[in-house]
């Protein structure tokens, strides 16, 4: 069976890998010169099965309103003259209640567990090295009220089988001693020993090379121009080589038995062109990566700082801090006053919590667009257009859910039943039903 995968981020590459495992003839298309050069490039690196709560919760609307005028707010809604943004915002509001929150958590935990097992299998069979650290994830609090609420959240997560322990300040500092200089501000934390961390870009690029070695055709530097339809069936996809396009050559027409849209945030506009409406909107986030000045004093346990809602992860000889979400369109600028303030906040925070550990004079700032759904649950499945499949909308958790999402979609395309009850089907998403159905 021939399959064309559009997009070479963690999701597209993982889908390609699992299709190859099933004997498919695979072509991967991406506009970038290599895999993982957009949202999968410099994320926080957390395989965060146990910290997977969606942004939509009962307190989110009020918090978002309060934060609207703060340049360093963790969640920033920047209203645009864009119906897609408002529609998405209304769907998000519809998820801001306890029933939806719990339903979404159950789905995210299930997909997380399935994906973690899939990731371990891929690593075992390929031996890919990507600065992996199997040290768990710690979350520290500086505000006693927030720490009290953390116990309630941990109890809810335990209901879904997640091992999230509430720990005292001393216990937290034993788990990760690197934060001792900031210990006087920490009031306590939580810890999930089974979580892990690693570099999503390194992993994805290595897996992409293995896909190529197994015979996948990798069309980098190619723009997806159009999905060609006859009736309700995709007949081909037009892709333009950026090199020959510049000299006026016509696009290539790729034909296949199945087409997978895995273009991250850009999946929504691409599929709208064939009448498929997906609730995906870009959520801009930032990261800063620093060389280590004192490797021995740097943390090994990936950590979440509750006060500024950022994640701190050791990746080899570097430390990455990442966070915040901005809902304001497809803007990737790093040089606006707002973007500068958000980046600076990350660098300042690292100097506060780990003084002198990193070279903060030479930060490597980056921004990416999380393909966010109102539920935080990705859209994995068949669409109403024949031969067109989707694997997108992984929001804050695409690295965590990448291996499993790729495997699940490959299983579905191959006519297998995924070995888990996750069942969020694309066609349901199109009808605007945002709750996942357990298969
Ligand atoms: C600041 C930040 C921190 C994060 N931290 C974490 C974390 O710690 N853990 C976690 O699990 N997740 C995290 N995430 C989320 C995760 O990075 C994303 O969910 C994931 O990278 C999405 O992968 P993707 O393959 O769907 O999208 P992408 O990586 O963006 O891949 C889509 C690909 O499609 C290609 N494409 C798009 N349109 C076209 C077109 N027209 N023609 C050709 N090619 C096209 C792009 O070039 C791109 O390579 C974070 C995200 C951000 C922004």
Which CATH number characterizes residue 435's domain? 3.50.50.60
Positive or negative: CA dihedral 210, 216, 221, 224: negative
Q: Each residue of 27-43: pLDDT tens digit?
A: 999 999 999 999 999 99
Query: In a mutational test of the pocket of ligand 1, which residue from 398, 402, 406, 409 has the highest number of ligand atoms less than 8 Å from its CB?
Result: 398
Q: Each residue of 97-119: pLDDT tens digit?
A: 999 999 999 889 989 999 999 99
- Residue whose CA is at the smallest distance from ligand 1 atom 51: 43
* Domain membership flag for residue 177: no
Residue 212 and residue 61 in contact, taking contact as beta carbons nearer than 8 Å: no
Distance CA 373, CA 397 (A): 11
- Residue whose CA is at the smallest distance from ligand 1 atom 30: 39
Q: Supply 277's token pair.
A: 């409406």
Distance CA 135, CA 117 (A): 16
Q: Each residue of 347-378: pLDDT tens digit?
A: 999 999 999 999 999 999 999 999 999 999 99
pLDDT at 426 over 90: no
Decide whether any atom of ligand 1 lies within 6 Å of the 390 Cβ: no
Decide whether any atom of ligand 1 lies within 6 Å of the 43 Cβ: yes
Tell me whether strands 252-254 and 233-241 are parallel, antiparallel or unpaired.
antiparallel
* Domain membership flag for residue 244: yes
Q: What pLDDT is stored for residue 422 in this prediction?
A: 53
Decide whether any atom of ligand 1 lies within 6 Å of the 264 Cβ: yes
Q: How confident is the model at residue 13 (pLDDT cuts 50, 70, 90)?
A: very high
- Residue whose CA is at the smallest distance from ligand 1 atom 16: 398
Of 320, 308, 241, give the one whose Cα is nearest residue 43: 320
Q: Supply 196's token pair.
A: 């892990």
Higher pLDDT, 261 or 249: 261
* Domain membership flag for residue 305: no
Closest ligand 1 atom to the C-alpha of 30? 44
User: Judging by beta carbons within 10 Å of its beta carbon (0-12, 13-18, 19+), is residue 254 exposed, middle or buried?
Assistant: buried
Q: Each residue of 285-343: pLDDT tens digit?
A: 999 999 999 999 999 999 999 999 999 999 999 999 999 999 999 999 999 999 999 99
Distance CA 150, CA 321 (A): 22
* Domain membership flag for residue 301: no
Q: How far is CA 14 from the centre of its chain?
A: 13
pLDDT at 389 over 90: yes
- Give the mean pLDDT of 426-435: 38
Q: Each residue of 82-91: pLDDT tens digit?
A: 999 999 999 9
* Domain membership flag for residue 256: yes
How many independent structural domains does the chain possess? 1
Distance CA 137, CA 186 (A): 16
The 3-state secondary structure of 236-296 reads: EEEEEEHHHHCCCCCCEEECCCEEEECCHHHHHHHHHCCCCCCCCEEEEEEEEEEEECCHH
The percentage of residues in the chain with a pLDDT greater than 70, rounded to a whole number, is 95
Q: What pLDDT is stored for residue 418 in this prediction?
A: 77
pLDDT at 20 over 60: yes
* Domain membership flag for residue 19: yes
**Range of 219's domain?**
1-67+80-131+196-282+371-439
* Domain membership flag for residue 298: no
* Domain membership flag for residue 397: yes
Decide whether any atom of ligand 1 lies within 6 Å of the 409 Cβ: no
Q: Each residue of 142-197: pLDDT tens digit?
A: 999 999 999 999 999 999 999 999 999 999 999 999 999 999 999 999 999 999 99
Q: What pLDDT is stored for residue 36 in this prediction?
A: 98
Taking the centre of ligand 1 as the mean of its atom positions, its distance from the CA of residue 54, in whole angstroms, is 17
What's the pTM?
Answer: 0.96
Residue 278: helix, strand or coil by DSSP? coil
Decide whether any atom of ligand 1 lies within 6 Å of the 251 Cβ: no
């Amino acid at each position: 069976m021939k399959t064309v995968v559009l997009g070479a981020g963690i999701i597209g590459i993982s889908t390609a890998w699992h299709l190859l495992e099933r004997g498919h003839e695979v072509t991967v298309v991406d506009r970038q010169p290599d895999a993982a050069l957009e949202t999968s490039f410099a994320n926080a690196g957390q395989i965060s099965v146990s910290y997977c709560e969606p942004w939509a919760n009962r307190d989110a609307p009020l918090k978002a309103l309060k934060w609207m005028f703060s340049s360093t707010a963790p969640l920033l809604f920047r209203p645009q003259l864009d119906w897609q943004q408002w529609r998405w915002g209304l769907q998000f509001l519809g998820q801001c209640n306890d029933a939806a929150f719990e339903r979404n958590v159950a789905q995210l935990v299930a997909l997380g567990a399935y994906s973690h097992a899939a990731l371990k299998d891929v690593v075992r069979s390929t031996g890919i090295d990507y600065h992996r650290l199997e040290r768990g994830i710690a979350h520290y609090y500086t505000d006693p009220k927030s720490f009290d609420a953390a116990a309630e959240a941990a109890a809810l997560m335990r209901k879904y089988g997640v091992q999230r322990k509430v720990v005292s300040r001393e216990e937290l500092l034993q788990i990760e001693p690197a934060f001792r200089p900031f210990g006087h501000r920490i009031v306590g934390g939580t810890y999930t020993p089974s979580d892990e961390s690693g570099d999503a870009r390194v992993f994805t690029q290595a897996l992409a090379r293995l896909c190529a070695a197994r015979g996948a055709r990798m069309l980098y530097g190619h723009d997806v121009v159009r999905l060609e339809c006859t009736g309700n069936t995709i007949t081909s996809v037009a892709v333009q080589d950026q090199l020959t396009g510049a000299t006026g050559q016509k696009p290539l027409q790729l034909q296949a038995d199945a087409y997978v849209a895995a273009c991250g945030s850009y999946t929504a506009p691409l599929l709208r062109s064939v009448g498929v409406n997906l609730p995906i909107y870009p959520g801009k986030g930032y990261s800063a990566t620093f060389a280590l000045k004192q490797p021995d004093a740097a943390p090994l346990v990936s950590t979440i700082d509750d006060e500024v809602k950022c994640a701190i992860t050791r990746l080899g000889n570097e430390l990455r801090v990442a966070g915040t979400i901005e809902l304001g369109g497809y803007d990737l600028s790093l040089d606006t006053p707002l973007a500068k303030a958000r980046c600076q906040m990350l660098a300042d925070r690292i100097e506060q919590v780990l003084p002198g550990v990193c070279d903060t004079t030479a930060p490597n700032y980056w921004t990416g667009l999380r393909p966010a759904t109102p539920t935080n649950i990705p859209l994995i499945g068949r669409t109403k257009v024949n031969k067109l499949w989707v694997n997108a909308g992984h929001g804050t958790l695409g690295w965590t859910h990448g291996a499993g999402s790729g495997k699940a979609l490959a299983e579905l395309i191959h006519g297998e039943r995924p070995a888990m009850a996750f069942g969020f089907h694309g066609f349901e998403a199109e009808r605007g039903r945002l709750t996942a159905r357990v298969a």
